[in-house]
Chains A and B, each alone.
Chain A
């Protein structure tokens, strides 16, 4: 039977453009982009969504999502998103930030945006390393993890401990939704899809800030094959960053 006679059961979401991702092989940013696009389509938000893009590997989001987008300075996406949402309350505002952007330079902005109960959605990609700048230590780098700036492995005393963002943000009263999910298997991806919807739903219902943290692989900067990297994600990252929903409205 030819393809023409069959029913398409899995296709690229409408809000995703045809542009080929610039990400490295095995990197999960593309998957997170797809989940975001799927969720935009699910809630029919493409005509009112505004993406606010942090600095990092996700900075070209506008090439891939067919929505209005605004770049923001490193770490400031929640502040930019606040300005957009407050001046345009009918829009749907979603930030896309990495671990360096959100959990290092942008800790102040994310905490206070949550604390003000801003109705914005935060997509937070945690791959435990600085990707775009070439593999330096991130605030989420695991103890002992070698990076280009922790050549002997991260020593918590002195280099700091990994920061658990979903738990941290869930403690703030203005947070409506905070969850951590993973991208490395189809079962985890299904859970991630559900969590992404809740993070969007929080804004749709004006309940407050919704944050989804996605554990992702960065094979290039982990110096691993894609297969090794998903095994590391499963075996090591989840221990430090337990999966789960920490706040749900």
Chain B
């Protein structure tokens, strides 16, 4: 059954998880993501699932670890301070090669910070966040539809690669209501060959992340690296909308990319040659797409609701071959299309750049 419904982003995400087969949610309240646990506290038991309001984010993520070790689709959600507490469990999930989905509806920080929309957790999300040499799969939706779709995609990737996946959203995406096309619901996964279920008619299984013998941990790290390389090769998600002859590309993700989209459209209507590259997977980062488009245009404008985090990935992708500009909106500040449009005009000039080498 597929149908269209008007849903809040947080609810779309929660329903997307259920429709992907998730039946286990463990979480601790924190603003601005409470719509997710509130929705699931009723919706999961209705489909035979389990909802537990845990005593802390530490407990939540470790309940997720337990359910994941049982081969089940399990998730949690939180916001900045809670996600910080979950880093221990995320590291163990990655080390133990367990699939799980963690949602971060971000709030500004550091510290208790504020609850306004922000993208200040980009580094924490894409660099692993916890201790040790690992990465999360990180997906960044920019609409209620993508909150729904990427919840399912996060579970698919988490199970395919046996690695925790994070959805990085913010309060705009969580609170915004939009029409969402629901898809056919999938059944929960059955009998994964690594899952713990009791050693009936088979050898005992072990879920672990401790490797003490000489060289063991190196082998394990290299195995994880192979996984991250495979993700980089096969699972990059990016939206590219750049005119063939382009003077500037704007790079933005999440809710910020919606505003950048409007600004780019307006600039194009003025006759400026501006494109948009929107990373949807933040890890794996669409390095190739950014590099190629940046090289063609020669100029990149990164717009982020932080003090410059994805900016570093864009600079790494460009490797000094393109001019990189940055417009910063930290601490809950949200750009307007006019501001970004003005920034575009400052870089390429009101009348646009003349293509000296063009035919």
Answer yes or no: A and B touching, Cβ < 8 Å: yes
> In this assembly, does A79 line the interface, its C-beta being within 8 Å of a C-beta of chain B?
yes
| A-contacting residues, B72-89, CB 8 Å | 72, 74, 88-89
Q: What residue in chain A is nearest B58 (Cβ atoms)? A: A76
21 contacting pairs across A/B (C-beta < 8 A): A47-B200, A48-B200, A49-B199, A50-B196, A50-B197, A59-B210, A68-B198, A68-B205, A69-B196, A69-B207, A71-B207, A73-B92, A76-B65, A79-B59, A80-B66, A82-B52, A83-B24, A83-B26, A83-B65, A87-B66, A88-B72
| A-contacting residues, B39-60, CB 8 Å | 50, 52, 54-56, 58-60
The minimal Cβ–Cβ distance linking B261 to chain A, given in whole angstroms, is: 40
The minimal Cβ–Cβ distance linking B86 to chain A, given in whole angstroms, is: 11
> In this assembly, does B119 line the interface, its C-beta being within 8 Å of a C-beta of chain A?
no
B198–A80 CB distance below 8 A: no
> In this assembly, does A81 line the interface, its C-beta being within 8 Å of a C-beta of chain B?
yes
> In this assembly, does A86 line the interface, its C-beta being within 8 Å of a C-beta of chain B?
yes
> In this assembly, does B175 line the interface, its C-beta being within 8 Å of a C-beta of chain A?
no
The minimal Cβ–Cβ distance linking B251 to chain A, given in whole angstroms, is: 36
Q: Of the candidates A47, A85, A112, which one forms a contact with B201 in the assembled complex, judged by CB atoms under 8 Å apart? A: A47
- CA–CA, A116 and B51, complex, Å: 13
The 3 closest A-B pairs by CB, nearest first: A83-B66, A48-B198, A79-B62
B210–A112 CB distance below 8 A: no
Residues from chain A with Cβ under 8 Å of B66 in the complex: 52, 70, 72, 79-87
Residues from chain B with Cβ under 8 Å of A87 in the complex: 23-24, 50, 66-67, 70, 72, 74
| Given A79-B63, A82-B52, A87-B67, A92-B198 contact (CB < 8 Å) | yes
The size class of the interface chain A forms with chain B is 35 or more
B58–A70 CB distance below 8 A: no
- CA–CA, A62 and B88, complex, Å: 22
Chain B 276-289, CB within 8 Å of chain A: the 1/0 string? 00000000000000
A83–B63 CB distance below 8 A: yes
B62–A68 CB distance below 8 A: no
> In this assembly, does A136 line the interface, its C-beta being within 8 Å of a C-beta of chain B?
no
> In this assembly, does A164 line the interface, its C-beta being within 8 Å of a C-beta of chain B?
no
Residues from chain B with Cβ under 8 Å of A49 in the complex: 198-199
Q: Of the candidates B67, B201, B204, which one forms a contact with A83 in the assembled complex, judged by CB atoms under 8 Å apart? A: B67
The minimal Cβ–Cβ distance linking A85 to chain B, given in whole angstroms, is: 8
Q: Please, how many residues of chain B have a CB less than 8 angstroms from a CB on the other chain?
A: 39
A80–B204 CB distance below 8 A: no
B204–A69 CB distance below 8 A: yes
- CA–CA, A68 and B210, complex, Å: 16
A83–B199 CB distance below 8 A: no
- Where chain A touches its partner, the secondary structure class is mixed
> In this assembly, does A220 line the interface, its C-beta being within 8 Å of a C-beta of chain B?
no
Residues from chain A with Cβ under 8 Å of B269 in the complex: none
B54–A84 CB distance below 8 A: no
A80–B208 CB distance below 8 A: no
- CA–CA, A191 and B68, complex, Å: 36
| B-contacting residues, A40-90, CB 8 Å | 46-50, 52, 59, 62, 65-73, 76, 79-88, 90
| Given A82-B52, A86-B67, A66-B24 contact (CB < 8 Å) | no
Q: What residue in chain A is nearest B92 (Cβ atoms)? A: A73
For B199, B205, B209, B210, the residue with the greatest tally of chain A CB atoms inside 10 Å of its CB is B199
- CA–CA, A76 and B62, complex, Å: 7
> In this assembly, does A91 line the interface, its C-beta being within 8 Å of a C-beta of chain B?
yes
Residues from chain B with Cβ under 8 Å of A248 in the complex: none
A82–B63 CB distance below 8 A: yes
A71–B96 CB distance below 8 A: yes
The minimal Cβ–Cβ distance linking A200 to chain B, given in whole angstroms, is: 15
- CA–CA, A79 and B23, complex, Å: 17
Q: What residue in chain A is nearest B200 (Cβ atoms)? A: A47
For A47, A66, A88, A90, the residue with the greatest tally of chain B CB atoms inside 10 Å of its CB is A88
| Given A50-B196, A67-B199, A73-B62, A86-B207 contact (CB < 8 Å) | no
> In this assembly, does A109 line the interface, its C-beta being within 8 Å of a C-beta of chain B?
yes
Residues from chain B with Cβ under 8 Å of A171 in the complex: none
